[in-house]
Amino acid sequence: MIDRNQKNDRSVLVWDLPVRLFHWLLVTAFAMAWLSYEDNRYLDVHTFAGYTFLGLLIFRLVWGVFGTHYARFREFSYGPGDAIAYIKGLFGDDMRRYVGHNPAGAWAIFALIAMGLVLTVSGLFVLGGEERHGPLAGIVGFRQSVPFRETHEFVAYTLLLLVFVHVCGVLVESFFHRENLVGSMFRGTKSVATATLGVRPHRLVGATIIAVVAAYVIATFGGYLTATKEKPYLPFQGPHLVMNDPWTEACSECHLAFHPSLLPLRSWQQILKQQADHFGDDLALDEKTVNELLAYAQKNSADLEQTEPAWRMNSNIPSSETPLRITDVSYWKRKHEEVDAEVWKRNEIKNRANCGACHFDAKQGTFEDADMRIPGENAFDGIEWLKAILGGKDK
């Protein structure tokens, strides 16, 4: 802490390189997460941002113990009284300037880190439960992940508010002390009194952070560059649901072998009971096969709500009804009403029940939001894209 009236005649390094990188990468990851959260097709961007955010926070926890002087938590653990006194001081005579974090700023930083951890960890639960992806895939069921989704959303908004307060604080302090704090977070330096010592820049740690983030960017998005329309890049296939050979064999001859998690058990029982008249076809299954299929359906039907589609399908079917078509269920209709009539007639699709034309994971039954493209639309062709950029061609 230094007196406002002291002469600040020396410029020293206050924020080492790792702290500055942490700060601006965190800002970037936070912005990326907000920009990508709404459209499920960008779920890979969103999770990339989330993992980066979590990684940065963990690094900061370590750096708060082993880092340079001003980066250490110990250096800026002030009591609530200090923060209040600091804010009061801004408007009175007792205005103090801190070389490192001031007490109010320090509180904001601890809150940002704590909430960031809650945000990213709840995100992992949502990712595991809803998308069957990440470290908790297959461990957290869809139903269990619902409260985590609520937490995730609530904390995201609260954190946004806190970021706003933090930015206001920085602007207020910059104004009162007539110094450019934002510039300091870029350059790392501040003008201080003669006696204050600067810190080591730690360029090697900084370079390591950059290398790790760069490698992660390539690992996550590199696949897009080699993807083609025929072989699209599928970043979002989670672990498969339980598959079953007799089922696939008996049901994939004429159409996709719909995964049993798409309809309740009573529907499959009915379908198999009337197998001699299956939408005009005779399935001609023997009794042993039928029993095998029923046993598999029983362990994987929509009633068990293993996945988000299973849960949504099941909760949209009144218990008095036994739909024989997936495409008759109100949830399915609602989800697909925005698909134009023209699209359904396309050669690659032809039939509504041709789920695999649009959903890359249709066979597995997972129907993850991010794992689909309507044929001819939204397909990201990496080579075409590169050609367009390099060659400046129209398409």
Contacting positions for ligand HEC (CB under 6 A): 40, 250-251, 253-255, 258, 262, 271, 278-281, 283, 293, 308-309, 325-327, 335-336, 339, 343, 349, 351, 353-355, 357-359, 367, 369, 372, 374
- Complex with ligand HEC: residue 191 or 270, whichever CB lies closer: 270
CB of 387 to ligand HEC, least distance (A): 27
CB of 354 to ligand HEC, least distance (A): 5
Q: What is the separation of C-alpha 29 from the centre of its chain, rounded to a whole number of angstroms? A: 11
Taking CA atoms, 104 is separated from 73, 95, 101, 114, 371, in Å, by: 14, 13, 8, 16, 44
CB of 242 to ligand HEC, least distance (A): 15
CB of 264 to ligand HEC, least distance (A): 12
- Complex with ligand HEC: residue 13 or 358, whichever CB lies closer: 358
Q: Tokens at residue 395, please? A: 């398409």
88-110 in b/e form (b: 16+ CB < 10 A) is: ebbeeeebebbbbbbbbbbbbbb
Cα(first)–Cα(last) distance of the chain, in Å? Answer: 59
Matching residue, tokens 């079953």? 244
Residue 372 sits at φ, ψ, to 5 deg, of -150, 150
- Rounded Cα gap, residues 159 and 230, in angstroms: 41
CB of 290 to ligand HEC, least distance (A): 8
CB of 224 to ligand HEC, least distance (A): 19
- Complex with ligand HEC: residue 150 or 253, whichever CB lies closer: 253
C-alpha angle with apex 371: 370 to 374, nearest 5 degrees? 100
Neighbours of 306 (CB within 10 A): 23
- Rounded Cα gap, residues 104 and 83, in angstroms: 4
Q: Tokens at residue 178, please? A: 């007539």
- Rounded Cα gap, residues 19 and 35, in angstroms: 24
- Complex with ligand HEC: residue 353 or 379, whichever CB lies closer: 353
- Complex with ligand HEC: residue 279 or 385, whichever CB lies closer: 279
Query: Is the Cβ–Cβ distance between 106 and 76 less than 8 Å?
Result: yes
CB of 353 to ligand HEC, least distance (A): 4
- Complex with ligand HEC: residue 9 or 286, whichever CB lies closer: 286
CB of 329 to ligand HEC, least distance (A): 8
Query: Is the Cβ–Cβ distance between 44 and 235 less than 8 Å?
Result: yes
- Complex with ligand HEC: residue 208 or 322, whichever CB lies closer: 322
CB of 288 to ligand HEC, least distance (A): 13
- Complex with ligand HEC: residue 60 or 132, whichever CB lies closer: 132
- Complex with ligand HEC: residue 109 or 262, whichever CB lies closer: 262
Burial class (CB in 10 A: 0-12, 13-18, 19+), 72: middle
The closest of 153, 156, 149, 154 to 128, measured between CA atoms, is 149
